[in-house]
Structure 1
Amino acid sequence: MNGQEVDQSMAMPTWKTYLYQLQLKAPRPKRVACQRDLPNRPPQYGKEFHGFISREETDSLLQEGDGCYLVRESQRAPGAYTLAIRFDKQTKNYKLYHDGKHYVGEKRFDTVHDLVADGLITFYLESRAADYIAALSSQSNYAESPYMVYSGKKKRRNAKTKDSSLPSDRTDGTNGTNYIVQPDQITEEENVEELLNVQDFEKTHVFKVHNFKGLHWCDFCANFMWGIIAQGVKCQDCGFQAHKKCSEQVPNDCMPDMKYIKRIFGADLTTLVKAQNTLIPIVVEKCVKEIESRGIEIEGLYRVAGFHDDVEAIRIAFDKDGESVDISETRYEDINTITSVLKLYFRSLPIPLISFDAYPRIMEAVKLDSISDEERKSLIKEGFSLLPPAHYQTLKYLLSHLARVIEKRHSNMMNPENLAIVFAPTLMRCPELDPMASLMAAKFEHKAMDIILEHQKELLKL
C-alpha cells in the first residue's frame, strides 16, 4: 500500500451482481402470433390474441419453449382475457387487465410484451434464488451499506464546511451563505455543536415506487434491482433507492438533498434544514434579519399585508434559489412585503411549526381553568418537548425575534396580544378536518400564543 493506511470508512461497498447475472439468463419473451383472421380482436391486443381457445390448445401453441406467450379470451367469462406464459415446461395463466396499461398485478406496462419480459425475469429469479432473495434485507449489514457510506461522507463534508465557515467576527452572525442564529442567542461553541447536529435530526424516507432506467443496485443490501419497471422504491427527498422489502428495514436517517427538493415553500421543515444543512431555514433567517435591520419599529408590523405580486415574486425566487434571493430595501421598499413572505412560509408548512403532536398538550394547557399558571406553563413545556428538533429550533429563533418586536411595541403597536392574533393561525393548526372544530379552537390557539409570547424565555429557555 506504499506505506499508506487505507481509510476503511471511506471505501465504497462491493455491489453484488449475483441477481444481475441471473436476470441475464432469464428466458426472453416470444409472442405466439395467431394465424387466423379475427374480426373482433380487442384494440389493445395485436397478433398475440387468439380469441376463444381452450387450455389444451393453448398448451399446444406454447410448446415451442420457455418465454412463449399468447392472450386468449376466457371461455368461462366472455369479455375477460387470460395471459398464458410458458415457463419451466409449464403453462401459467393469469387474468389480464387493461386500463390504458396492461397488468396482472400491481405493475402496469405499455405493452403485453414488456409485461411478459418482466414476469419471466421474476419467475426465473424466484425459481433459482428464492432463499437468497428472502434473506436480502435480513442479512444486510446496514452500517456498511452504500447509503451509510455516502451519508458518512456527506456528514463529514458538511461538518468541515460549517466549521471552516463560522465567522470570526460575530457582529452580525453572517458569513456568505452560512446562516446561523443571532449571536446574542447562542455562543460560538454551542453554535458549532448544533450545526453539526443538524444532520442527525431524525427524518423518515419518503419512498415511492420508481421505474429505474438502466441497471440499478439497492442502497440497502447492495444487490441488483431486477425487472424492467417498478424494480423498487426511491426516496423523494434524498434519492435512496432500494428493493421494496429492503425499504421496510431502513431507519429514519434520510439525508435530504436540495436537488430533490422541488420547492422551499410547502416543503417539510426537517427535510429542508437537513438539505440546506442549516439550523434555521434560510428563508426564515433572511426575512428576520431584513425586518430587524430596517423595519422593526414600523407601526402595524406583521399586521399590515404586503403587496401580493411582490410576495409571490419572492416566494418563486426562494423556491428557485433560496441562497441568492435579494429582499433588500433597494429591491422591495415595503417591509410589509417581507413580513408577509415570512408568514406565508409558516402557513405553507405541511406540518405546522407547532406540530400536530405538540398541539393537543398546548390546547389542554389553555382549556383547563382549574390549573395554576405554573401548571399551565408546565403543560406547554411538555408540548414543546414533543416538537421535532428542526421545529423547536426554528420556533426558538422566531420567538426570539418576536420578543425584540415586542420590545419596540411603543413604536410598532405590536404587543403580545396583537402578535398572537397574527401568529396563532400562522404557527398552529387544528388537526381535525371539521371546519367547526377549527373555528372553536381558534380562541384557544390565540390564548396559547399570547401565553407563549408573554413567557417565551421560561418556556423555551431563551
Structure 2
Amino acid sequence: MAASSNSSLSGSSSVSSDPEDYQPPIWKSYLYQLQQETPRPKRITCPQEMESRPKYYGREFHGLISRECADELLAGTEGAYLIRESQRQPGTYTLALRFGSQTLNYRLFYDGKHFVGEKRFESVHDLVTDGLITLYIETKAAEYIAKMTTNPIYHHLGYTSLLRDRFTHRLSRTRFEPKRVTFQQDDKVHTFRGPHWCEYCANFMWGLISQGVRCSDCGLNVHKQCSKLVPSDCQPDLSRIKKVFSCDLTTLVKAHNTPRPMVLDMCIKEIENRGLKSEGLYRVSGFTEHIEDVRLAFDRDGEKADISANVYTDINIIAGALKLYLRDLPIPVITYDVYYKFIQAAKITDPDSRLEAVHDGLLQLPPAHYETLRYLMTHLKRVTVYEKENYMTAENLGIIFGPTLMRPPDQYTLSTLNDMRYQKIIVQLLIEHEDILF
C-alpha cells in the first residue's frame, strides 16, 4: 500500500467498509517538515594530505588531533563534521559532529560500510546526514514522538478487514485464520525511497535509510516502535509472494489457502505413483541442473508446474526437488523454537518417555509445520514398506532427512555436528511411530 504524498498536520479521512470505496488517510506531515529543516552536513576538510589516513576516509580525516582542536575547527557551523584519530587509542577513529551549539563525538567503525550504531552507510556523508536528521527530529519533537501511537489510524481504517475482504474475494470463499504480522528477522528494517508514512500512526518515517519496517506478508509499512502495537490479524498478500521455494511455510499455505505447500503434495504424489520401488530413493541424487529446473517451474507456474514422467523421467529429480524445497525453508519444518526440545527428547533412553517427549514437541509446532511434517512422515512410512526393493529403511531416511527437517538456531557451533545423530534418531522415530505420534 503506497503512501500518499498529500499530507496534513493531523487527522485522517473516513473509510467505507467497501474495499472498492477505500480512501487513503491524510498523513501527518509535522515530522516531514522537521526533516526538511534539518541542518545540512558540512565537511571540514584537512588542508594537508594525511599519510596515516585510512583509504576508506576522505579529506574530512584530520589525523591525531584532540577533542579541543576538533571543537575549534567545528565551532560556529551547525552540521559541520570531521574525523579524527583518537590520541588515547591510536588506530581507532572518532566522528566529531557539531549539533546544538556543541561538538558531539562518536566512535566510528568500518566493516565495508560506515557505522556508529546499528545502521550502516556507504559513505560518511550519508551517515552524518541521517544522524543530523535523527538528532534534530528527536530534539525538536521528543514529546510529539512519545505520543505518536496514542491515536492510530490502523483501527480507524479497518485495514485488516479491508485485507481480509480482498483476499477472501480473490482466493477463496473460506476465511483465513488470523496471522501475526511478520517482520522477518533478516529483512526487518526497510529503506524507503522517497517520503513514506507509517500506516499505523500516519506520521512520517524520518531518516535517510532504514526508516521503518515492512511486513513481509501483507506489506504493511510502519515505524519500528509501531510494529510492536500492530494487532495479530494481518493476512498474506498473494501478490507479494513472488516464489514458492524459500518462502516462509506459514505464509505460503495461508496465501494459497492450503493445509500444506503444493510442492509437497505434487512431489509426493509423483513419487508414490512411479518411484516407491526405486533403489536408493532420496539417497541417490538427481542431476542438479534438472532439480533447479523443477525449482524454477514451481516458482514460475505454482501448482501448474509439470513434473510428470513426460518431462522428468528420473524420479530422483523429483525426490531431489522435494528435499531442496524443505532444506531451503527460511524456518525449518521442525522450527528453531522447538529444536532443542527434540534434541533432548532424542537423548532420553526410556522408549516410552522418549516418544512422549517427541509428541510434546510436535504439539508445539505451528499448524502448517505440523501438517507438513505429518504428511511427509506418512509418505516416508510408505517408502519403508518397499525397503526390500528400494533399500531405504527408517534409519537410512533419518540420516537423509534429519539435517533437512531440523537445523539449530545457531548453525555455526561445534554442537551442530554432534546433533546430527540425534536429528537422525528423531526422524527415524517419527517414521517408525508415525501412526501414534500424529
Q: TM-score, normalised by structure 1?
A: 0.71
Determine if contact 2:339/2:407 at 8 Å carries over to the other structure: no
Aligned counterparts, 1:8-407, within 5 A = 10-34=22-46, 36-38=47-49, 40=51, 42=53, 43-50=55-62, 58-59=70-71, 61-72=73-84, 74=86, 80-137=92-149, 139-141=150-152, 143-144=154-155, 149=159, 151-163=160-172, 192=174, 196-197=175-176, 199-202=177-180, 204-207=182-185, 208-236=188-216, 239-250=219-230, 255-257=235-237, 264-292=244-272, 294-295=273-274, 298=277, 302=281, 305=284, 307-309=286-288, 310-355=290-335, 357=338, 360=341, 364=345, 369=350, 371=352, 381-398=359-376
Distance 1:361 1:74 in 2: 50
Change in Cα spacing, 1:259 to 1:60, as seen in structure 2 (3 Å) is same
- Structure 2: unaligned runs, 5 residues or longer: 1-14, 409-413
Q: CA deviation at 1:39?
A: 5.3
Q: CA deviation at 1:332?
A: 1.6
Q: Identify the residue that residue 415 of structure 2 maps to in structure 1.
A: 433
Task: Name the SS for the 1:222 alignment partner.
Answer: coil
Change in Cα spacing, 1:287 to 1:29, as seen in structure 2 (3 Å) is same
- Structure 1: unaligned runs, 5 residues or longer: 165-191
For each residue in 1:384-422, what CA deviation from the matched residue of structure 2 results, as whole angstroms up to 9, or x when unmatched? 32221102233444456567778xx5899689x946743
Paired residue for 2:397, among 409, 417, 422?
A: 422
Q: CA deviation at 1:122?
A: 1.6
Q: Which moved more, 1:273-282 or 1:325-334?
A: 273-282
Distance 2:390 2:317 in 1: 17
Matched to 2:134, the amino acid is: T
Number of residues paired by the alignment? Answer: 410
Matched to 1:422, the amino acid is: L
Paired residue for 2:17, among 4, 7, 31?
A: 7
Determine if contact 1:302/1:340 at 8 Å carries over to the other structure: no
Q: CA deviation at 1:282?
A: 1.7
Distance 2:342 2:112 in 1: 49
Paired residue for 2:433, among 451, 454, 457?
A: 451
Distance 2:59 2:322 in 1: 61
Change in Cα spacing, 1:359 to 1:142, as seen in structure 2 (3 Å) is farther
Counting aligned pairs with the same residue, the percent is 44
Q: TM-score, normalised by structure 2?
A: 0.74
Higher Cα Rg, which structure:
1
Matched to 1:91, the amino acid is: T
Task: Name the SS for the 1:200 alignment partner.
Answer: coil
Q: Identify the residue that residue 174 of structure 1 maps to in structure 2.
A: none
Q: Identify the residue that residue 172 of structure 1 maps to in structure 2.
A: none
